[in-house]
A = this chain, B = another copy of it.
Amino acid sequence: MVSGLRILGIDPGLRVTGFGVIEKHGQNLRYIASGCVRSNSGQSLPERIATLFSGVSEVIATYRPDEAGIEKVFVNINPQSTLLLGQARGAAIAALAVGNLPVAEYTALQIKQAVVGYGKAAKEQVQHMVARLLCLSEQPRADAADALACAICHAHSRALFSAE
């Protein structure tokens, strides 16, 4: 059996970084794993960044994806939050880069468009459609669903650009 292309989707955040792993076999997508890496708000920022970096590195070592998609973060109304989110995202991208993964970036709009067909879809719709597209018996949690949606978005974008 030819193994499919394994895609890791990342939904970055300082408190919680969601991850989702899927496999693309031709036009079919298969669920592999999902979950999240949490950092402890009682720790210093460098310690939290270290936790996120190691967590994402561990996900890569465990599931050995071929490519990665990461959600582009939006600029928050609160500049401090933007700064914290940026740092979490930088750590996650660094982990993907160290794992030698090609990394593609997608906006929340592109991701929602890819899974729900509507760029302004609600979180619940994303969770519902991710479960349907990956034939899951129950809906994944919001963080994991967003990461899986990002992986699905990458699988679709790849299909557009390659001659599969």
Q: Which residues of A contact B (CB under 8 A)?
A: 44-47, 49-50, 52-54, 70, 73, 75-76, 79-80, 82-98, 103, 105
Contact = CB atoms under 8 A, between A and B. Distances in A.
A91 B86 CA distance: 10
A46 B83 contact: no
Copies held by the complex = 2
Given A79-B75, A86-B84, A94 B53 contact: yes
A112 B54 CA distance: 33
A82 B105 CA distance: 18
Closest 8 CB pairs of A and B: A86-B86, A90-B90, A50-B97, A87-B90, A46-B103, A75-B79, A53-B94, A91-B94
Nearest to A79: B75
Contact of A75 (B53, B54, B80, B87): B80
A76 B79 CA distance: 8
A90 B96 CA distance: 13
Nearest to A102: B46
Contacts of A83: 73, 75, 82-83, 85-86
A121 B16 CA distance: 38
B90 A46 contact: no
Best-buried of A44, A53, A76, A88 by chain B (most CB within 10 Å): A53
A88 B83 CA distance: 10
